[in-house]
Amino acid sequence: MSIFIQQIINGLSIGSIYALMAVGYSLVYSILNFSNFAHGGVIMLGAYFGLYAVTLVGGLPFLGALAVAALLAGLVAVALEKIAYRPLRKRNAPSLYFIISAMGASIFLENLVIVTIGPTFRTYPQMFSAAPIALGNVTISRIDVLMFAIAAISLAVLMFIIEKTKVGLAIRACSFNTKASNLMGVNVNRVIFIIFLLGGMLAGVAGMLFGMRYTVYPQIGVITNKSFIAAVFGGLGSLPGAVVGSLLLGIIETFGAGYIASTYRDLIAFSLLIIILVIRPSGLMGRVTEDKA
Amino acid sequence: MLKVRNLNVSYGGIHAIRGIDIDVERGEIVTIIGSNGAGKSSLLNAVSGMVRYQGEMEYEGQQLPSQPHNIVKAGICQVPEGRLIFANLTVLENLKMGAYLRNDAKEIERDLERVYSLFPRLAERKKQIAGTLSGGEQQMLAMGRGLMSSPELILLDEPSLGLAPMLITTIFEIISEIKAMGKTILLVEQNAFKALAVADRAYVLEQGIITASGPASELLRDSRIREAYLGRK
């Protein structure tokens, strides 16, 4: 029983990091209808930004470094949108062009880091006690609790913005129809700027947490493959779907790794993707169009 | 109020509007009638800044802004063909989107009450997801949403499209009421008879060219127009 609870906690912890990344995919997809595969590059940079904030700048405390990582990653995402996507949007290019541009940007960022910083693995200095928290038979690592708590807070802030603010209303309106939003006076370019900023900031948070938990290296962005699967699982374009899909994927993976073998982890994740695409392509909470007109 | 001179709109190789002149004066309903593909929607989309055009457009003596959101800010709002309501949002959220550029909370609240009194159905359904509304209700929501921007000039694109005859009558009654509120309306319609009956002046648009214009009551009597657009002699 204690192993079972342990696995759930591990699953939620990794799943919450997937969720931080997956909402970035979903935000962009919901408005621009393409999968932003450069997202992994932003997450990778977030891990490096956090690392340098902790080690270089006189050693910022954890939360300060997290803020720096979020902000810089947000700016990178916004710059990517301006350089890699906006010119395509102006020309009404098909989605495929956006995806190719995103893949190019992803490869560019990865190689930029290899050339400038180097391909070696780096680790964060230890910022929290490695001693696990014991609750009866269950032991939880502090970093897992921290990851989950920070992811939950970040996602709650995002949900608040989307559901309760005027900008959020505009984002939801644009996700249904950018033309109509434009006719209502919404500056669509500004909304797109905001979703890249929000998605990029969450990517920065995710990158730093992930880097702290494991290691930092130029290919760390590959982890977004998992969060992409989670976003598809939950229903691309749906934020609650991205969160639920991520948590479920995290739990399913850890159970697979715990009860079968850890080498099965990725096999399980990708099998899940194929099964969903065959049975329910729109995902758990995918968009159902209700346009009657 | 709105002055359009030598307007040209092309998409790819199609020359949708070929050098037309149109005037709309404050407080009147001007209708553009014509068959499918005559260029009616292209005209409204050019005014709204949604398509590129050549030619001059003046609004209140000033050059019309080029960005769609600046045009809304200037006081021109389009209620688009096919309604384009936000089916994923509630009725109230749709109306709030209409007031997106406004910050005068009290005035917004007052306009919301006005829209509800104009369309009581919307008040009953304000918490409902807009995608579940009937076609007629969606048209009302699209018009209410447009009014929430507190426009001076409203561009109505085919408001009667796809509606039952009884509803069409209601929609045209509401158009008259909106005029009575002091708004100016540029109405594009395929239902020429209803449009001419409610309008002050009219233009007939055929393949991107204006072929007739004048007081709506005169066009309503014109035998050529009666034959082509009203289906009677």
Higher local confidence (pLDDT), A281 or A99: A99
Q: How far is Cα A102 from Cα A243, in angstroms, rounded to an integer?
A: 23
pLDDT in tens, A121-131: 999 998 887 78
For A240, which DSSP code? H
- Strands B153-157, B184-189: pairing kind: parallel
Of the listed ranges A222-226, B105-109, B168-172, B209-213, the least confidently predicted one is: A222-226
pLDDT of residue A289 exceeding 70: no
Residues with Cβ < 8 Å from A67, sequence gap 6 or more?
none
Mean pLDDT value of segment B34-56? 93
Spell out the domain ranges in chain B: 2-75+151-230, 91-149
Q: pLDDT tens across B176-206, in order?
A: 999 999 999 999 998 899 999 999 999 999 9
Q: Quick check: A212 pLDDT over 70? A: yes
Residue entry with tokens 């407080």: B27
pLDDT tier, B232 (very low <50, low <70, confident <90, very high otherwise) = low
Please determine, for residue B2, whether its predicted confidence score (pLDDT) is greater than 80. Answer: yes
**Which residues in chain B are closer than 8 Å to A292, comparing Cβ atoms?**
87, 131, 133-135, 138
- C-alpha angle with apex B76: B75 to B78, nearest 5 degrees? 145
Q: What's the mean pLDDT in A141-166?
A: 93
Chain B residues near residue A293 by CB distance under 8 angstroms: 82-85, 135, 138, 162
Q: pLDDT tens across B146-181, in order?
A: 999 999 999 999 999 999 999 999 999 999 999 999
Could you tell me the CA-to-CA distances from A107 to A72, A111, A118, A219, A226 in Å, in that order? 19, 6, 15, 10, 18
- Share of residues in chain B with pLDDT > 70 (%): 99
Distances (CA, A) of A234 to A231, A237, B108: 5, 9, 37
In this model, does residue A141 exceed pLDDT 90?
A: no
Pick from A229-238, A257-266, B217-226: least confident: A257-266
pLDDT at A288 over 60: no
Which of A52-56, A288-292, B229-233: highest mean pLDDT? A52-56
Query: Model confidence over B115-152: pLDDT tens digits?
Result: 999 999 999 999 999 999 999 999 999 999 999 999 99
The number of domains in chain A is 1
**Is A183 within a domain?**
yes
Q: What is the mean pLDDT of residues B65-91?
A: 95
Alpha-carbon dihedral sign for residues B90, B94, B100, B102: negative
- Chain A residues in contact with B138 (beta carbon < 8 A): 292-293
Please tell me which residue of chain A has the smallest CA distance to B149.
A184
Closest CA to B102 of B127, B77, B82: B77
pLDDT at position B98 over 70: yes
Which tokens sit at A217? 């290296």
CATH T-level fold of B2-75+151-230: Rossmann fold (3.40.50)
> Tell me, what amino acid is at A125?
P
Q: What percent of chain B has pLDDT over 90?
A: 88
Q: Residue A170 and residue B78: Cβ atoms within 8 Å?
A: no
* Residue A58 pLDDT level (bands cut at 50, 70, 90): confident
Q: What pLDDT does B233 receive? A: 53
pLDDT tens digits, residue range A154-170? Answer: 999 999 999 999 999 99
Q: Which residue range(s) make up the domain with A40?
A: 2-123+140-279
Q: Is the pLDDT of residue B231 over 80?
A: no
- Residue A293 pLDDT greater than 70, yes or no: no
How many CB pairs below 8 Å do chains A and B form together? 86
Q: In this structure, are residues A292 and B131 in contact, taking their beta carbons and an 8 Å threshold?
A: yes
Average pLDDT for chain A: 90
Residue of B nearest to A177 (CA): B86
User: What tokens were used for B55?
Assistant: 């030619």
The whole-number pLDDT of residue A269 equals: 82
Asked if this assembly's ipTM is beyond 0.90, the reply is yes
Average pLDDT over residues A170-174: 96
Residue A290 has pLDDT above 80, yes or no: no
Query: Which residues from B are below 8 Å from A when comparing CB atoms?
Result: 48, 50, 67-69, 72-73, 77-78, 80, 82-89, 93, 96-98, 100-101, 129, 131-135, 138, 145, 149, 162
Does B22 score more than 90 pLDDT? yes
- The string of pLDDT tens digits covering residues A214-239 is 999 999 999 888 898 898 888 888 89
* CATH number for position A72: 1.10.3470
Interface of A with B in 155-184 (CB under 8 A): 166, 169-170, 172-173, 175-177, 179-184
